[in-house]
Amino acid sequence: MNNVSAKRRRAAQGSRLWKMNGDKKFMNNELITLLGRIVGGQVTDENDKEYFVQVSGLTFRLDKAEIKKPLKHGSQFKGYAYENEHHQLQITREAPKVQVDHYGFGEVVKAQHGLGVFVNVGLPNKDIVVSLDDLPEMASLWPQKGDRLMLAIKIDKKGRMWGDLADEAFTVPLPNP
């Protein structure tokens, strides 16, 4: 009888793991459609430092320091959705110009061998990485700290935000003086 109970427990655990992995896949698919964009959601909770905004079943943190008038539970909030440097979902009223399908300028803050260059696009606690796959093979040709890059945001299949460099099609020749 113990053997049968153990088999049922393992089977139940397996189905829970499958459901968790299925939920994670759903979450990544949802994230791909939300991150790097202006989205709307509902305020569901708060603590001393943050509001919590529900968007498509996912909860985003909103720093109370950004808000002038207190938000009420159940009220609607619209902001820029991203994952901060601590891998927490966050939403901000101060949307950067750099978004999914929207190019803007950012400033290189550092280069990291094996990863790429980190670019400040105006988010309070997140720099965007331009992958080494999108940079020259010779690291000496990479953009340096302080350089300005024109980029947009792209989201990979795992729901991670990356910098997408503008190509020649986005450059406009300047008139000769």
CATH code of the domain covering residue 82: 2.40.50.330
Q: Which residues pair with 21 in a beta bridge?
A: none
**What does pLDDT average to over the chain?**
84
Tokens of 142: 């990479």
Indicate which CATH number applies to the domain containing 114: 2.40.50.140
Look at residue 79 and give its three-state secondary structure. strand
| Position 158 confidence tier, pLDDT thresholds 50, 70, 90 | confident
Residue 31 contacts residue 39 (beta carbons within 8 Å): no
Indicate the number of domains in the chain. Answer: 3
134/158 same-domain check: yes
CB count within 10 Å of CB 34 equals: 21
Tokens of 37: 């964009």
Q: What is the DSSP letter of 138?
A: S
111/139 same-domain check: yes
Question: How confident is the model over 27-43, as a mean pLDDT?
Answer: 88
Query: pLDDT at position 20, please?
Result: 37
46/72 same-domain check: yes
Query: pLDDT at position 21, please?
Result: 39
Name which residue leads in pLDDT, 22 or 64. Answer: 64
Torsional sign, CA 101, 106, 109, 111: positive
Range of the domain at 45: 38-92
Edge-to-edge strands, sheet with 161-165 = 128-131, 116-120, 104-112, 148-155, 161-165
Distance of CA 78 to the CA centre of its chain: 16
Question: How confident is the model over 94-120, as a mean pLDDT?
Answer: 95
Percent of the chain with pLDDT over 70: 79
Single out the residue of 77, 98, 86 nearest to residue 35, CA to CA. Answer: 98
